[in-house]
Chain A
Amino acid sequence: DTEVTQTPKHLVMGMTNKKSLKCEQHMGHRAMYWYKQKAKKPPELMFVYSYEKLSINESVPSRFSPECPNSSLLNLHLHALQPEDSALYLCASSQGRGAGTDTQYFGPGTRLTVL
């Protein structure tokens, strides 16, 4: 099973709402990633968790708050977002060997619209 699942597929929220994106994998991977992808652009790395510890935060605003409850789950908590945060949010996972050879497996993404 090489599947990464993400819920919900679509999310519309107001600027005062609090919502969460969820990601799950059962491949035994120990690295998990959040990316943001705007239309017609490549994915931009937001956060990396390695062995359930946050290892990289690419200067993401605090209105995005990641959480890794266990090795299979990754959440992204959203609060007080801006319309410019509307994008496709992709989750990915990899074995986590950290040597650069790992394949990252991507989920289908959550299409977020902030009104």
Chain B
Amino acid sequence: AQSVTQLDSQVPVFEEAPVELRCNYSSSVSVYLFWYVQYPNQGLQLLLKYLSGSTLVKGINGFEAEFNKSQTSFHLRKPSVHISDTAEYFCAVSDPFGTGGSQGNLIFGKGTKLSVKP
């Protein structure tokens, strides 16, 4: 069974500092990886996704993530954060070979709360 581990439940950081949100996955097969952001009282929005090809993926709002197969990681980074980046960030994996109609269903990590302070 697949799983996703987000190693930090909360990450406080000062404005304009760099940030890395960590995500590790567990799977015996190829997977597709996603990062979603959830602003307070809103739904989830896709930041970026890795399907294949280049292991460095660039997303919206200046975020990027690097897929590392040997370390089974997909960490999210931003070189300089803004107050407006304060939100909950979810890493997710989907299984292209799932059974019982579950292909493509997302398995979410527990989330990381990013708090950007002035």
User: Which residues of A are at the interface with B, using a C-beta cutoff of 8 A?
Assistant: 4, 6, 31, 40-43, 45, 48, 50, 55-56, 90, 92, 94, 97-109, 111
Which residues of chain A are within 8 angstroms of B31 by Cβ–Cβ distance? 100
Known: A56-B101, A56-B105. A108 touches B43 (CB 8 A): yes
Count how many pairs of residues, one from A and one from B, have CB atoms less than 8 Å apart in the complex: 70
Interface of B is mostly: loop
User: Which residues of B are at the interface with A, using a C-beta cutoff of 8 A?
Assistant: 31-32, 34, 36, 41-46, 49, 51, 90, 94-98, 100-106, 108-111, 113
Contact yes or no, B103 A98, CB < 8 A: yes
Contact yes or no, A101 B101, CB < 8 A: no
Closest to A96 in B: B104
Which residues of chain B are within 8 angstroms of A48 by Cβ–Cβ distance? 101, 105
Given A40-B111, A100-B96, 7 more pairs with CB closer than 8 A: A31-B104, A42-B90, A90-B44, A100-B32, A103-B49, A108-B41, A109-B42
Which residues of chain A are within 8 angstroms of B110 by Cβ–Cβ distance? 41-42
Which residues of chain A are within 8 angstroms of B100 by Cβ–Cβ distance? 56
Known: A106-B44, A107-B43, A109-B43. A45 touches B106 (CB 8 A): yes
Which residues of chain A are within 8 angstroms of B42 by Cβ–Cβ distance? 108-109
Which residues of chain B are within 8 angstroms of A100 by Cβ–Cβ distance? 31-32, 94-98, 103-104
Which residues of chain A are within 8 angstroms of B46 by Cβ–Cβ distance? 103-105
Contact yes or no, B96 A99, CB < 8 A: yes
